[in-house]
Amino acid sequence: MKIFTWHIHGSYLFYLSQGNYTIYIPTKPEKTEGYYGRGETFPFGDNVIEIPADEVKNHEFDCILYQTNQNYLKDQYEILSDEQRELPKVYIEHDPPRQHPTDTKHILDTTDVTLVHVTHFNRLMWDSNQTPTRVIEHGVTTSPISYKGDIARGIVVINNLPSRGRLLGLDVFMEAREYVPLDLVGMNTGDLGLGEVLHPELPEFQSRYRFFFNPIRYTSLGLAICEAMMMGIPVVGLATTELSAVIDNGFSGFIHTDINYLIDKMNLLIADPELAREIGNNGREVALKRFNIERFTNDWEQLFAEVTQKNKNVLSA
């Protein structure tokens, strides 16, 4: 099956590409959003194929996969043919609503597109209008790197945290680091962090930290959290959005809306390496069941088969 989409979130595209289909992505020399191509960060397989944007109209696809408002409102009209725009359509909504947590209407209001939310929280909060929706939860590959936890510090993995402010918990991070030794990694961390660690190198890098801290107030469940849990790194975070339905507090991680509680638990993990390993192992069991890559790719393969078959039935009717 031939799926056309844009390169929006590199790590998500990498995990999506583990499925049994071929993904085509457009490129532009200026490498604007969605047109980066494969890039050099992720070890994409042969089933991720670049196409110059001005040649996309000459190719045949089975399904168009939108990932941003710009993809749907602008990009498709610039690079897809009329016939391609009539193909089966899926839209991945990666985020919870921003304008208002419960009353924001999605840009989609049609029965011709399947809207996929990446968490149940997101599906609950968005007003998806009459658009058919479903949830496909994250899937991540298992890492050959195992948890060591020999560095008595916590790691925070967030891109652009200084510029993204309260939404991603800049103030929470700043408060917590006054009482807990924390290292921040990610793009554009500025003076607050250690800079970017490329995705393929992150497992080895973070494996030595005692725990993973997620200070983010309001976002989707970060793939970095799933990856940390899959490695057996104990996770500490705010009991908001989907994380509150993933972590069993005190068993497979620590979550709370009280920052002082989280600070106490992070210091407990630093003081008790064996507890950290136990919590991390319990979290890994959750990740293996909930975020395994086979379930994720099977969900996507089934959806692509469903929407393409539905389209064939409509055309033949």
The domain locations on the chain are 2-139+293-316, 151-290
Q: How many CB atoms lie within 10 A of CB 257?
A: 11
Rg of the chain on CA atoms, in Å: 20
Q: Which among 98, 102, 69 is positioned nearest to 219, based on CA atoms? A: 98
Strands (E), the chain: 2-5, 22-27, 48-52, 63-66, 89-93, 113-117, 133-135, 151-157, 182-185, 209-214, 235-238, 254-256
Q: Do domains 2-139+293-316 and 151-290 have the same CATH topology?
A: yes
Looking at CATH, the fold of the domain delimited by 2-139+293-316 is given as Rossmann fold (3.40.50)
> What confidence score (pLDDT) does residue 191 get?
92
Euclidean distance between CA atoms 240 and 257, whole angstroms = 7
Using one digit for the tens of pLDDT, what is the confidence trace for 92-119? 999 999 999 999 999 999 999 999 999 9
The fourth-level CATH superfamily of domain 151-290 is Glycogen Phosphorylase B; (3.40.50.2000)
Task: Return the DSSP state at 119.
Answer: S
- What pLDDT is stored for residue 317 in this prediction? 56
pLDDT digits (tens, 9 = 90+) for 266-297: 999 999 999 999 999 999 999 999 999 999 99
